[in-house]
Amino acid sequence: MTTAIAATEATRDAEKVKPARKQRHLGWMFGTAWLVVLSVCALFANQLPFIRTYDAKIKIAGKAKGYNFGPGWTAWLGTDNSSHDVFARCIYGARQTLIIGIGATIIGLTVGGLLGVIAGYYRGWVDRVVSVIVDCLLAMPALLLALLLIQRTDQIKETITALGWLTRTEEITVTLGVLAIAPFARIVRAQTLGLRERDFVLAARSLGAKSQRVIWREIMPNLVPAMVTVAVTGLGILIAAEGTLAFLGLGVPRPQTWGTMIDAARDDLSKAWWATMFPCLFLFLTVLSFNFIGDHLARKFDIREAAV
Amino acid sequence: MRYFLQRLLQFAIVFFLVTFGVMVFMRIGMNKPGDPARTMLGGLVPDDKAAAVNKQYHLNDNLFSQYFFWLTKMFRGDFGISVQQNVTVANYMKGRVLVTFFLGFYSLLWALIIAVPVAVYQAYRRDSNFDRAGNLFSFLFVSLPALVLAPFIIQLFVIRLGWFPRISEKVMPWQDLGAHFKNFFLPVLVLTLPLAAIFSRLLRADIVQTLQSDFITLASAKGVPPSRVLWTHALRNSLFSLLSSVGVQLGAIVGGALVVEQYFTMKGMGALLLTSILSKDLFVVQSVTAIVVAVVSLANLLIDLLYAVIDPRIRHARALT
Amino acid sequence: MVRNRQRSRNRIIVAAVLSLGLIAASCGKKNDSGTIATNATIGETATSAATTEETIAVDTSVGDTTPATNPATTTPAPKPVPGGEITVSGEAEVGNAWVPAAMQCDEYCHERARTFFEPIAQFGVDNKVHPYLAESITPNADATQWTIKVRPGISFTDGTPLNADAMIENLQRTGTYILIAAQVADLAKIDDPGGATNQDGSAKQVLKIEKGDDMTFTIFTGEGGDASKPLPWPGFDVVLTSQFGLMASPTWLKAVDTDPTKATQPVGTGPFIVQSYAPHDALVVTRNPSYWRKDKDGVQLPYLDKITFKVIEDAKTAEGALRSGDIDIFSESSGTIISDFEGDPEFPTLLQKEFGESNYFIIDLDKPGPYQDARVRCALSMAIDRQELIDLTQGGILQVANGLFSPGQEGYLDDNGFSPDQDIEGAKALIADYQKDHPGQIQVTYGHTADRINAQRAELIKGYWAAIGVDTTIEVIPQETFITNMLLGAPNFFIYDIRLHSGIKIDQNNFWWNSRSATKDGEGIALNFARIRDPIVDSNLAIARSDPDPAKRQAAAEAVNRQMAKECYQIPYSHTLWGTMHKTAIQGLGEATLPDGTVARDGTDFGGWFSTSSLWLDKG
C-alpha cells in the first residue's frame, strides 16, 4: 500500500524542463470528469429518471430469469442474476463504494495524520513510540491485518452485545481505515519534519507560540496539499482493497458495492459477461481516476520526499 | 555496527509487539475468558478434553505467561498444534511453504525482469511514444486489483483457450519441471502484472531524476557512452529505492498470494492463514503470522543492511531520521 | 461460574448439530445463481423508469428446463476392470477428523470416511436397513432390545479383529460423546461398570450394552436414557447406518487417546487404507489388498488402486476443474452447477432426487408479535414465488417444496394442505385480517450468512414481502454464530434461511420438532430451533418412533407434515437435489452392493455421497 502511494508520487519526475503536458492533462481531466459524473449520478440516483430503483426487476412475460437481458436499450448494461438492472446497481454501488472508501480515508487520515504530525513535530520519544506503532502496523501484510480485524470484530460483537449496532459496512470501513493509518502517518510525519525546520515555523516558535498553536496554525495548513494528494491516491487503493475483501467473502451484502457485484457474477463470465465486466469497468475507471488525479496533485504540490 | 544493532533492536521490538498483539487479539471475545481450548477445538468437546488442552497449552494462564510459553516453544522449533485438525503446525505448513515461496519468488523475479528494462528505456526515451505507452500500462495495472484481473485471465486462458488447468497443483520443479511451470504460470501472472507496474513507475521516476543530477551530467560530458551512463551509473544509483520497494512489497505479495491461492485453489500459506483465521485455529494463526512477520521484516532488515554496507552514506542518512 | 459452564456447553452442541445433519443453506461459498439467458425476441410494452417491477412481454415463451438422469449412467456396464486411480473433490474439510465419535461429519466427510470406515448397517435401494459389518440385527418382540451379531472373519487393517468388544467400544465412545448423544437419547444409560467418573466425581454414564458371546451383544432402549423405562423403538436400526454405526479399530482409538495427531491416520475395515492426509488439502487412500469383500463374480473389491480426495471450496471452480480434467468426479447440491451439466454427454450426472434436505426459512416461534400468529406466517409463505426463487438462485431445476418432507421421505405428501403457489391476494387478506387485531405496519427481520447466493435470495424475499405490505429488515449473520443463534434463540434470530432434514424415516428428524427439545429462548439450548410446541406434532412423533405398525408410523409422519403445513411453522421453498458429475470413464457409480447382495442406497444420512468400492475405470 505504501509503495503504491510512493509509486504514484514518485512519478512527480522533477521535470519542469520538458513536460508532456497534453497526456497528463488528459489523464487528470478525464479522472475529474468521470468522478464528477459518477458522484452526481450516485447522489441523485433516486431522483434521476434514467436510473431504475435498486430493487427494480426487469421481467420477461412476468417471469424473472437470471441474466435475461444483455446490454441494450431495455437495460443499458444488461441485467444481473436476479434480473436487476446492472447500470442502476453500478450507480448505487458507486454510492456505497465511495462511502466506504471516503469513510476509511477519513479515519486513516485523522488518526494517521494526527500521529504523523505529533511524531514529526515533537520528535524524541513521542516519535519513537509512534514509529513503533507504525512499524507494527506495517509489519503485518495489510490483507492479513484486515482479515484478522473483521473476523475478530464479528466474534467480539457476539460476546459484547453493546457493539451489536455495528454493521458489516461499518466494520469494513473501520478496517480499511485502520489499514490506511500507518502509510498516512509515515507520509505526514515526513512532511512535518520538513515543515518544522522552515522559517515561518521557527519564527512562530521563537515568538513563544504554544506547540498546539504552532501545529494547528502553522503546520496543519501546510500539510493540506500532501494530505489531499495522499488521500486521493489512497482512496483508489482502498476501493480496490474493498473488492478484494468481497472476494474473500467479507463483502458488503446490501447495497452491493462493485466488489460484491463482481464477486457475485465473476463465475458466469461466459454466460453474461456484462454482469462482471461493467462493475469491473466502474471500479477500474474510478481507481484509475483517483490515480490520475493523485498523480497530478503530487506533481503540482511537489511532494516526493513523502514517499520514502 | 551501531546501525546494525539499532535495526536489529527495532526488528525485535516490532516482532514481539506484533506477535503478542496477535495473540491477545485472537483471545478477545472467546466464548469464555481463559477458555480458548473449546473454541480452538471447534466447540465440540467434553469438559475433560477442553480442560486437558487448556492445561497442556497453558491456555488458562495470564496472557504474558501464555505468550512466553508459546514463544519459547516457537524458538525451539515447536510451532504448536492445530487442535482442530489434529496435526502439528509444522506438518500443516509442510508442503505449503514452498507453494507460497515459489509464487512470491517468481512474481518478484518476473516483475523485476519486466520492470527494469522497461523503466530504463522509458527514462532514456522520456516522452517518447514508448514512454507514454509504458506509463499508461503501468497506470492500468496499478488500478487493476486481482479481483478484476483474475476472472478475465481464467476466462481467457483456462476456459476459452484451455492452456492451463483450472486448479493449480503444487507440483515442484524437481518433480516435473514442465508441469511445475504450467501450474504456476497463471497465479504468478496475476501477481506479477501489478507488481511490475509499481516497480517500473518507481524506477522510471527515480532514473529520470538521477539523469538530471550533476554526476551524470559530468559523466556524459566526460564522454561516457549514454548506455553505460544509463545502465551503470543511473541504475545503480536508483537501486536502493527499488530494493526497499521490493522489501515493502513482500508484505503485499503475501496478501496477493492469499488471494491468488483462493482463485486457483492452490494450497499454500495464504490459504492456510485464511482458513485458520476464519476457523479460529489459534496456534496456527499465531505461528504462521509470526513466521510471515519475521520473514517480511527480516528481508527488509537485510535489504537495509546490505545497502548500508555497500553505501555508507545511507547509514548516516537513515540514522538521522 | 455456572453461567459460563452453561454457555460453554452451548458451544458444544453447536458442532454436534452439524453432525446431525444441519447444513445452513449458507454453509460454504456456494455458487447458486440464475442460469438461463434467453434468446427470446422481446417486444417492449412497458419500460417506465424507477418502478419496482417491470414486465416485458415476449413472443416466445421461455421453455422450462426439466432435470433428467443422463442415460449414460443407467445403461448396463461391461465387466469391471480392476486398477487405476481417480481424483474426487468436495467443498469442505472435516472438523476434528477422523475419530468417528468426534468428527463433525458432513456429506464430503461421509464420502471420504466411508472409504476406510464401514457401518454396522446400511440402507439398500429398497429403503430397508441391511446388516453390513453385522451379520444380523434382531429386535426383541417389543423392539426395546436389539441384538447384534458381528459378521465373522473381518479384521481392521491394523490386524485387530472385529468382534463384539470392538463394536461395543466404538458404540460406547460415539454414543456417549456429545456429538451423537442427542441422536441416541432414547438408548438406556447406566453408570460405568468400570467405575469411571466425570470431572465432578459423579459416575460416568455409558450405554447399556450387554455382551452375549464373543460375537454378539445387545443394546437396550430407555426413554430419555432412563434404563428403567424401555421404549419400543422399531426403527432403531436406522441409527446404525449413520455416523453412530461407523467402526474404527479400537487399537487405533486408544492410540489417538494418547497422541491426538494419530487421528489423521485412521484405521477401519473399509476397502481403502489412508495413505496420507493433509487437512484442507488432500486425502489419499489406497486399495486395501486384504479387503473382506469380493464382487458377485468373485473379483476382489475394490477395483480402484488409489483415490485422491481434494478440497475445492468453490463449486464453480470444481466445475471448471472437472471440465479441464483436474478431477474426475464430484458431488454437488447447487442447482446451478447441476443444470450446467444437464445433457452433457462428456460429463454424465447421477442425480439423487429423493430423501434430500429441504430448503426453508425457519421462524423462531418464541419471538413476540407477528411471528406467533399463523395468519402472518402463512401470508409470508404464500407471498413467495417459489419457482422464481428456484429459477434465480438454484438453477431452475429444484422441486418446489410444500413442506419439510422431501420426495421419498416417510411422510411426504404431494398435497399436505398448503399450496406452494404464490398467492399475493390471499396473503394480503390474511395480513389485513391480522391488522384488524394488531393495527400498524408489520415488520419482520430476516437473517442470512454473508454468502452471495444467500444475499441474492434475501433481496428477493424482501421484494415478495414488500408486495403484501410487510417490511423486512435484512441482517447478515456471521457464519460461526448462525447455528448458535438458533440453538440459543438469540435476540437476533427471527427468520433464518436454512437447509435441513434429510433422511428416509421421520424418526431420524424426531428431535428437530419434538417439544422435548424446545427450550425457551435464552434459557438454554434447543435443537428444536423453531421452538415448536405442538401436541399434535409431539404425539405423532411418538407414534412414529414407537408404534410397531409401519402403516401407523407412516400415517403419523403424514399427520406431522399436515399439522406443520397448517400452522405454517416454517416457510419451505425447495427440496435439495444432489448431482454427482463425472467423466465418462468412471463406471459403477451407484452400483455398490451390500453383503447380502442388495444394491446399496447412496446418500442416506447425508445427501450426495456415493460408494467408492464399486467404482472402476473404463480405459477403452
How confident is the model over B260-287, as pLDDT tens digits?
A: 888 888 888 888 888 888 777 788 888 8
Q: Where is average pLDDT lowest: B131-145, C13-27, C89-103, C388-402?
A: C13-27
| Per-residue pLDDT at C131 | 95
Integer Cα distance of C393 and C573 in angstroms? 11
Instruction: Please determine, for residue C612, whether its predicted confidence score (pLDDT) is greater than 60.
Output: yes
CA angle C40, C390, C372 (to 5 degrees): 140
Q: Given pLDDT bands bounded at 50, 70 and 90, which one contains residue C67?
A: very low
Residue A161 pLDDT class (50, 70, 90 cuts) = low
What's the pLDDT at B42?
57
Residues C450-461, mean pLDDT to the nearest whole number: 81
Chains that touch A (3 or more CB pairs under 8 A): B, C
pTM confidence score: 0.83
Cβ contacts of C260 on chain B, cutoff 8 Å: 81, 83, 86
Q: Is residue C363 predicted with pLDDT exceeding 90? A: yes
Min Cα–Cα distance to chain C from B180, Å? 14
Q: Name the neighbours of B, counting chains with at least 3 Cβ pairs within 8 A.
A: A, C
- Which of the given ranges, A18-22, C250-254, C299-303, has the highest pLDDT on average? C250-254
- Residues 231-290 in A contacting C (C-alpha not used; CB under 8 Å): 249-251, 253-254, 256, 260, 263-265, 267-268, 271-272
Q: Which residues of chain C neighbour A272 with C-beta distances below 8 Å? A: 37
- Which of C192, C326, C479, C485 should we substitute to test contact with B (largest number of B Cβ atoms within 10 Å)? C326
Q: Which residue of B has its CA nearest to A148?
A: B277
Percent of chain B at pLDDT above 70? 90
Question: Inter-chain contact A155–B278, Cβ cutoff 8 Å?
Answer: no
Asked if A7's CB is within 8 angstroms of B251's CB, the reply is: no
Q: How far is C436 from chain B (nearest CA, A)?
A: 44
Tell me if A144 and B258 make a contact (CB, 8 A cut-off). yes
Query: Is A140 in contact with B212 (Cβ distance < 8 A)?
Result: no
User: A149-172: b or e for each residue (b if 16 or more CB lie within 10 Å)?
Assistant: bbbbbbbebbeeeeeeeeebbebb
Which pLDDT score, from 0 to 100, does residue C159 have?
Answer: 92
List all residues 6 or more positions away from A1 whose beta carbon is below 8 Å from its beta carbon: A142, A179, A180, A183, A234, A237, A241, B252
Residue C446 confidence (pLDDT): 92
| pLDDT digits 0-9 by tens, A24-67 | 677 788 888 888 888 887 777 777 776 677 777 777 666 767 77
Given this model, what pLDDT does residue C552 score?
Answer: 92
Does A23 touch chain B if contact means CB atoms closer than 8 Å?
Answer: yes
Give me the total of CB pairs closer than 8 Å, taking one residue from chain B and one from chain C: 114
Q: Which ipTM did the prediction report?
A: 0.82
CB contact under 8 A, A81 and C34: yes
Q: Which of C54, C316, C463 sits opposite A267 (nearest CB)?
A: C316
CB-CB neighbors (< 8 A) of A164 in chain C = 492
Record: contact C35-A271, CB cut-off 8 A: yes
Q: What is the pLDDT of residue A13?
A: 40
Q: Are C617 and C585 in contact (CB under 8 A)?
A: yes
Mean pLDDT of C590-608: 85
| Surface-to-core class of residue C428, CB atoms within 10 Å of its CB (0-12 exposed, 13-18 middle, 19+ buried) | middle
Q: Which of B132, B143, B205 sits opposite A23 (nearest CB)?
A: B132
Closest CB to A253: pick one of C396, C476, C478.
C476
Map residue C89 onto helix, strand or coil.
strand
For residues B218-222, average pLDDT: 74
Residue of C nearest to B35 (CA): C8
Taking a C-beta distance cutoff of 8 angstroms, is the pair C22, C500 a contact?
A: yes
Site from B94, B259, B265, B278 to mutate, C interface, most C CB atoms within 10 angstroms: B265
Instruction: Examine the pLDDT at C595 and tell me if it is beyond 60.
Output: yes
Cell, residue C492: 437476533
- The beta-carbon neighbor of A60 closest among C38, C460, C484 is C38
Residue C572 has pLDDT above 90, yes or no: yes
Q: How far apart are the first and last CA of chain A?
A: 13
Contact list in B for residue A130 (CB cut-off 8 A) is: none
Of residues C121 and B166, more confidently modeled: C121
* Contact between B148 and A280 using a beta-carbon 8 Å cutoff: yes
Average pLDDT for C329-333: 90
Task: State whether residue B213 sits within 8 Å of chain C by CB.
Answer: no
d(CA C481, CA C452) in angstroms, rounded, equals 18
Highest mean pLDDT, choosing among A227-241, B16-30, C536-550 = C536-550
In percent, how much of chain C has pLDDT > 70? 86
- Please indicate whether residue A293 or residue B224 has the higher confidence score (pLDDT): A293
Q: Write the residue in C4, C15, C278 that is nearest to B43 by C-beta.
A: C15
- Reduce the secondary structure of A192-259 to three states and give it as a string: HHHHHCCHHHHHHHHCCCCHHHHHHHHHHHHHHHHHHHHHHHHHHHHHHHHHHHHHCCCCCCCCCCHH
Q: Read off the pLDDT band of C20 (50, 70, 90).
A: low
Res B314: pLDDT: 53
Residue C44: pLDDT over 90: no
> d(Cα B209, Cα A296) in Å, to the nearest integer?
17
Q: Are C416 and C562 in contact (CB under 8 A)?
A: yes
Q: Sign of the C-alpha dihedral, residues C423, C428, C433, C435?
A: positive
Residue in chain C lying closest to B265 (CA) = C312
B84 touches chain C (CB under 8 A): yes
Question: Which of B31, B87, B158 comes nearest C7 by C-beta?
Answer: B31
Residues of B in contact with C312 (CB under 8 A): 167, 265
Percent of chain B with pLDDT over 90: 3
Which of B46-50, C198-202, C376-380 is modeled with the greatest confidence?
C376-380
Q: Quick check: B320 pLDDT over 60?
A: no
Q: How far is CA B307 from the centre of its chain?
A: 20
C314 contacts B84? CB cut-off 8 A: no
Give the pLDDT band (50/70/90) at residue C478.
Answer: low
Strand pairing category for C306-311 and C85-90: parallel
* Strands (E) located in chain B: 81-82, 87-88
Task: Give the DSSP per-residue string, B91-147.
Answer: HHHTTTHHHHHHHHHHHHHHHHHHHHHHHHHHHHTTTSHHHHHHHHHHHHHHT--HH
Is B95 an 8 Å CB contact of chain C? yes
Within 10 angstroms of residue C102's Cβ, the number of other Cβ atoms is: 29
Q: Which of A6, A159, A291 sits opposite B29 (nearest CB)?
A: A159
Does residue A86 or residue C37 have the better pLDDT?
Answer: A86
Whole-number pLDDT of residue A3: 40
- Is B38 an 8 Å CB contact of chain C? yes
Query: Does C59 contact chain A (CB < 8 Å)?
Result: no
Please tell me the least confidently modeled range out of C70-79, C153-162, C185-194, C458-467: C70-79
- Sort out which chain B residues have CB atoms less than 8 A from C97's CB and list them: 85-86
CA distance to partner chain A, nearest, from residue C463 (Å)? 8
Residue B280 near residue B39 (C-beta atoms within 8 A)? yes
Q: Of residues C233 and B4, which shows the higher confidence score?
A: C233
Given A52, A81, A251, which is nearest C392 (Cβ)? A81
Burial C386-416 (b: 16+ CB within 10 A, else e): bbbbbbbbbbbbbbbbbbbbbeebbbbeeeb
Q: Which chains touch C (3 or more CB pairs under 8 A)?
A: A, B
pLDDT category at B27 given cuts 50, 70, 90 is confident
Interface touch A143/B258, C-beta < 8 Å: yes
Higher-confidence residue of B2 and C7: namely: B2
Q: Which residue of A has its CA nearest to C27?
A: A249
Highest mean pLDDT among A78-82, A126-130, A252-256, C135-139: C135-139
- Please state, for a pLDDT cut of 90, what percent of chain C lies above it: 42
**Most A-contacting residue of B135, B147, B277, B285 (CB-CB within 10 A), to test interface:** B147
Q: What are phi and psi of B87, to 5 degrees?
A: -130, 155
Count residue pairs from A and C with Cβ separation < 8 A: 133
> Within an 8 Å CB–CB cutoff, is residue B60 touching chain C?
no
Residues C436-440, mean pLDDT to the nearest whole number: 91
Per the DSSP assignment, residues forming a β-bridge with C331 are C580
Mean pLDDT of chain B: 80
Cα dihedral: B250, B251, B256, B257 (round 10): 70
Mark yes or no for CB contact B35/C310 under 8 Å: no
pLDDT at res. B162: 80
Residue among C216, C193, C226, C214 nearest C146 (CA): C216
B165 interaction partners in chain C (CB closer than 8 Å)? 321, 324-326
Residue from A128, A143, A303 whose CB has the most chain B CBs within 10 Å, to mutate:
A143
How many angstroms separate the CA of residue C39 from the nearest CA in chain B? 22
- Would you call B81 and C260 a contact, using CB atoms and an 8 Å cutoff? yes
Whether residue A156 and residue B151 make contact (CB cut-off 8 A), yes or no, is no
pLDDT tens-digit series, residues C234-245: 989 989 998 899
Q: Binning pLDDT at 50, 70 and 90, where does residue C41 land?
A: very low
Check whether C18 has a pLDDT greater than 80.
no
* Statement: residue C348 has pLDDT above 70: yes
Q: What is the pLDDT of residue A151?
A: 80
pLDDT of residue C403: 92
pLDDT of residue C147: 95
